C-alpha cells in the first residue's frame, strides 16, 4: 500500500502541473472504487482551475475553485500525468484532462482507492478525526507518551493508529522502531517518555528522508512523474525476516502484530 512518503511524492510530482491550470473534461471509465465516483464529477470539475494540491495523512486534496477532489490511492493505485488521449491500459479508470494538453490519470488495479468530492474536505468523515501530521510541530514524543498511558497494546500498532499520529504505516513504523531500539512487541504504556522522544525523532527523520528519496517502491507504485521510489534499497528490517541485521549481524525475526508482519532485531531492540 502506498504510504505517506509515496503519497507526498505523488503530490509533489503532480502539483506543478495542476495548480493554476483549468480542467477541460473528466473521463470516468469505471466508477466502482471503494466508494463510487460521483456521477456529476465531470460537471463539477470541468471548467474549474485547480488552486492547490495538498495532502492530509494518505489523502490527496486537489482543491479546485468550487470544491475539493479527495483522492486515496488504496492498495495499489497511482496518479500520474500523461498526454491527453494517451492509449488506455487495463485498470486506468479516470482521466482528468487539462487545458495544458496533459491528463491526470488515475489507475487502481484493486479498486480500493477513492475519488470523492467535498466542499469542506477537512471536515469530511474520512478526515475530521485524524491525528496530527508526523512532520508537524504538533507531533512529538510528548504526545506519544501521553496517548500511550494505560495502553496495553503493542507499541507498533499504537504508532500506526491514525488517531495518535497519521501516516506511520507498516514500513516506516518498523524502520522507526528499529532506529529507536524499541521492540515492536513492547506494551505502549510501558515505554518511557525519553524513549518516546527518541522514537518521535526517528519517525520524523525517516519519513522526511523517505520523501526525499521518492518513497518506497512497492509492487506497482510510481510517483506522479511515473518514476518509482528508491527508499526500499535502504530498509533495515521491513521485509527482511530471517536475514542478517545490518547493525549487529544477528538474525532478524518476524512476528505478527495487529494482523501485520513485523520484523525486528532481538539484539538491537528491547
139-197 pLDDT tens trace: 999 999 999 999 999 999 999 999 999 999 999 999 999 999 999 999 999 999 999 99
Q: Long-range CB contacts (< 8 A, 24+ apart) of 136-142?
A: 139/165, 139/200, 139/204, 140/197, 140/200, 141/193, 141/196, 141/197, 141/198, 141/199, 141/200, 141/201, 142/193, 142/196, 142/197
Q: Determine the length of the chain.
A: 270
The C-alpha cell that represents 228 in the structure block:
518509482
Choice among 58, 80, 105, 195 that is catalytic: 58
pLDDT at 221 over 70: no
- Give the angle subtended at the CA of 186 by the CAs of 200 and 204, to the nearest 5°: 15
Distance of CA 203 to the CA centre of its chain: 14
Choice among 44, 143, 205, 260 that is catalytic: 260
Q: Where in the chain is CATH 1.10.8.50?
A: 141-264
Quote the pLDDT of residue 236. 95
Quote the pLDDT of residue 141. 98
- Pairwise CA distance, residues 189 & 174, whole Å: 18
Helix (H) or strand (E) holding 197: helix 193-212
122-134 pLDDT tens trace: 999 999 999 999 9
Binding residues for DNA: 91, 110, 151
Choice among 2, 134, 157, 184 that is catalytic: 2
pLDDT (average), residues 78-98: 97
| 58 is known as an active-site residue | yes
CATH fold, domain 4-123, is: N-terminal domain of MutM-like DNA repair proteins (3.20.190)
How confident is residue 218, by pLDDT bands cut at 50, 70 and 90? very low
Q: What is the CATH number of domain 141-264?
A: 1.10.8.50
How confident is residue 204, by pLDDT bands cut at 50, 70 and 90? very high
- Pairwise CA distance, residues 59 & 73, whole Å: 8
Binding residues: 91, 110, 151
Arithmetic mean of pLDDT over the chain: 93
Q: Where in the chain is CATH 3.20.190.10?
A: 4-123
| 2 is known as an active-site residue | yes
Quote the pLDDT of residue 65. 96
Amino acid at each position: 500500500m502506498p504510504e505517506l512518503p509515496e503519497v507526498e511524492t505523488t503530490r509533489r510530482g503532480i502539483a506543478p502541473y495542476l495548480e493554476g491550470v483549468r480542467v477541460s473534461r473528466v473521463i470516468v471509465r469505471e466508477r466502482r472504487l471503494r466508494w463510487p465516483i460521483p456521477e456529476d464529477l465531470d460537471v463539477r470539475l470541468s471548467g474549474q482551475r485547480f488552486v492547490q494540491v495538498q495532502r492530509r495523512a494518505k489523502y490527496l486534496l486537489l482543491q479546485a475553485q468550487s470544491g475539493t477532489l479527495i483522492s486515496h490511492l488504496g492498495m495499489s493505485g497511482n496518479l500520474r500525468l500523461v498526454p491527453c488521449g494517451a492509449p488506455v491500459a487495463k485498470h486506468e479508470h479516470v482521466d482528468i484532462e487539462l487545458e495544458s494538453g496533459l491528463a491526470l490519470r488515475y489507475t487502481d488495479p484493486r479498486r480500493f482507492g477513492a475519488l470523492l468530492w467535498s466542499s469542506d474536505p477537512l471536515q469530511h468523515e474520512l478526515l475530521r478525526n485524524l491525528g496530527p501530521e508526523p512532520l508537524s510541530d504538533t507531533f512529538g514524543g510528548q504526545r506519544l507518551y501521553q496517548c500511550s498511558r494505560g495502553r496495553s497494546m503493542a507499541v507498533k500498532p499504537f504508532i500506526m493508529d491514525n488517531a495518535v499520529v497519521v501516516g506511520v504505516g507498516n514500513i516506516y513504523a518498523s524502520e522507526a522502531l528499529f532506529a529507536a531500539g524499541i521492540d515492536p512487541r513492547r506494551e505502549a504504556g510501558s515505554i518511557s517518555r525519553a524513549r518516546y522522544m527518541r522514537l518521535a525523532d526517528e519517525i520524523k527523520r525517516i519519513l522526511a528522508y523517505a520523501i526525499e528519496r521518492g518513497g518506497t517502491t512497492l509492487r506497482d507504485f510510481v510517483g506522479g512523474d511515473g518514476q518509482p521510489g528508491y527508499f526500499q534499497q535502504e530498509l533495515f528490517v521491513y521485509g527482511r525476516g530471517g536475514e542478517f541485521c545490518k547493525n549487529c549481524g544477528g538474525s532478524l525475526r518476524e512476528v505478527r502484530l495487529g494482523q501485520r508482519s513485523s520484523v525486528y532485531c532481538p539484539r538491537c531492540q528491547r
